[in-house]
Amino acid sequence: MSPASDFRSLSASPRSRRSGVRSRLLAVPIALFALIAVLAVWRVGSPPVLELRTNVPGIGSRTEITAVAEEAGRGLGTVVLELVQAERRWELARTEHEPRPFWAFWGERTARVELPAVVEGRTVEGLAEGEALLRLVASRAPTWLRRPAPEVLERTLPVRWRPPSVNASSQPNYVGQGGSGLVVYTVGEAAVRHGVEVGDRLFEGSPVPGRAGEFFALYAAPYDLETGDSIRLFAEDALRNASRAPFLTLYQTRELVRSTIALDDAFLQKVVPAIAAETAGLRVGDDLLAGYLEINGPLRRANAEELRRLAAESRETFLWSGVFLQQPNAQVMDRFAARRQYTYRGEVVDQQDHLGLDLASTRQAEVLAANSGVVVMARYFGIYGRTVVVDHGHGLMSLYAHLSSIAVEPGAEVATGQTLGRTGATGLAGGDHLHFTVLLGGEPVTPLEWFDAQWIRNRIEAPLGGAGAAGAGAAL
Ligand SMILES: [Zn+2]
């Protein structure tokens, strides 16, 4: 009897009211039974929503997998993540939960699980390079009468853990601490990222102009790197299988020059308020020494970091040619890479490394571009005061600091010897001089190599096949 006809019987005669009471008594269990029957047939869990994420597009020497299953109704049951190849199957992760009973509309259930797994291809016994299937299987909550098929998500993935090969083809290869190097190499076809690794940095390679299949990388040996052990050729494929090959035959160490600078109040008064006024976000109080230490330490590091970021904008072409120009009539006041100790009223208050050449000539002398390139910075720049940075391509840049005036705009193409501005004493400078730095990938390197025509011929042009940077530049 339907609930509707039962309702009609309420307004009937006493006789039929008695039978109405009986039918009402019957109606409850019948309706309940009908409801349970309906639920038992129909209320299976919804198909869980599945997702498979991997950190690399395949199974490599190390693949991180995250499997996600979601079912917000009756909740999840068993979720299994597995790898399948031919007849073999490896279970990577499994989780089991109890979905809500089909007749329950509340109570505990697991609506979402995340299964992490790490597969190190080479160490999975029986797995071969080629292809494999990554499969995520999530059961659906059943009823007494129905047991739906589980929900399955599959992805076919390449399996490869052999890294791409990488071999130096230029010989010999040597570099000095704080210097620049260039190596020519060949690399396996699967490589998507390659170059010279120095510690945790990668100086990415580019094709050698006119020589198919060969690459070169210009790299910097940081001034404070005491051994060449961490300088290696590096190649990695899309699955992040990586090769590292030592290629240096010699690493020449260089001692840091040490010097002491005595700070006095007149100097602090000259530089601290001026730099603070030009530097957004730098707050210095009345204590000039504290302000100075803030500039000499944290601001110096922030500027170095910004130069590393600027390196990413370097053009992938040789914009320079020939030897780098030294400023005419300039006296070198200090050597590249000096560890400076700072004293104030007889006490050591700070220590920093000075990375560049300080050159003095006449006051407000013209500052000339050391080589051709494109201006990528022309503004006040922290400890460097008014600064121009010229990009010479492939990560090589030159920096001119403490200028009194700037004569170029960012984006301008400049020729060797073109006037960039005039020397001055802006930023952390006691008197009028030019601070000159050569940067490779944002890393300061000694400019002396780039001033040396023979060094450029032997170390840069010869490995590139004699055509050299000039020829290569012309070709691009
Ligand atoms: Zn300097």
Residue 271, SS3 per DSSP: helix
pLDDT, tens only, 396-427: 999 999 999 999 999 999 999 999 999 999 99
Query: Is the pTM for the entire model greater than 0.85?
Result: no
User: What is the pLDDT, as a whole number, of residue 350?
Assistant: 96
Q: How far is the CA of 332 from the centre of ligand 1 (A)?
A: 10
Q: How far is the CA of 323 from the centre of ligand 1 (A)?
A: 22
Tell me the C-alpha to C-alpha distance, in Å, between residue 385 and each of 215, 286, 434: 38, 21, 11
User: What is the pLDDT, as a whole number, of residue 193?
Assistant: 97
Nearest to 316 by CA among 395, 252, 260: 395
Indicate if 87 and 212 belong to the same structural domain: no
> Quick one: tokens of 196?
């010279």
Q: How far is the CA of 159 from the centre of ligand 1 (A)?
A: 53
Q: How far is the CA of 218 from the centre of ligand 1 (A)?
A: 25
CATH of the domain at 118: 2.60.40.10
Indicate if 210 and 339 belong to the same structural domain: no
Q: How far is the CA of 356 from the centre of ligand 1 (A)?
A: 6
- Whether residue 306 is contained in a domain is answered as yes
| Total domains in the fold of the chain | 4
Q: How far is the CA of 435 from the centre of ligand 1 (A)?
A: 4
pLDDT, tens only, 311-330: 999 999 999 999 999 998 88
- Print the domain residue range for 125: 49-159
Indicate if 290 and 405 belong to the same structural domain: yes
Q: Are 263 and 272 in contact (CB under 8 A)?
A: no
Residues ≥6 apart with Cβ < 8 Å to 253 = 176, 177, 226, 227
Q: How far is the CA of 329 from the centre of ligand 1 (A)?
A: 17
Cα angle 213, 219, 317; round to 5: 60
Q: How far is the CA of 108 from the centre of ligand 1 (A)?
A: 68
Q: How far is the CA of 368 from the centre of ligand 1 (A)?
A: 17
pLDDT, tens only, 253-311: 998 899 999 999 999 999 999 999 999 888 888 899 999 999 999 999 999 999 999 99
Q: Are 94 and 105 in contact (CB under 8 A)?
A: no
Indicate if 177 and 136 belong to the same structural domain: no
Q: How far is the CA of 280 from the centre of ligand 1 (A)?
A: 22
Looking up tokens 């006040």 gives: 380
CATH of the domain at 283: 2.70.70.10
Q: How far is the CA of 221 from the centre of ligand 1 (A)?
A: 20
Asked if the model's pLDDT at residue 158 lies above 50, the reply is yes
Indicate if 266 and 394 belong to the same structural domain: yes
> Quick one: tokens of 110?
């697991």
pLDDT, tens only, 77-106: 999 999 999 999 999 999 999 999 888 888
Indicate if 272 and 390 belong to the same structural domain: yes
Q: How far is the CA of 366 from the centre of ligand 1 (A)?
A: 17
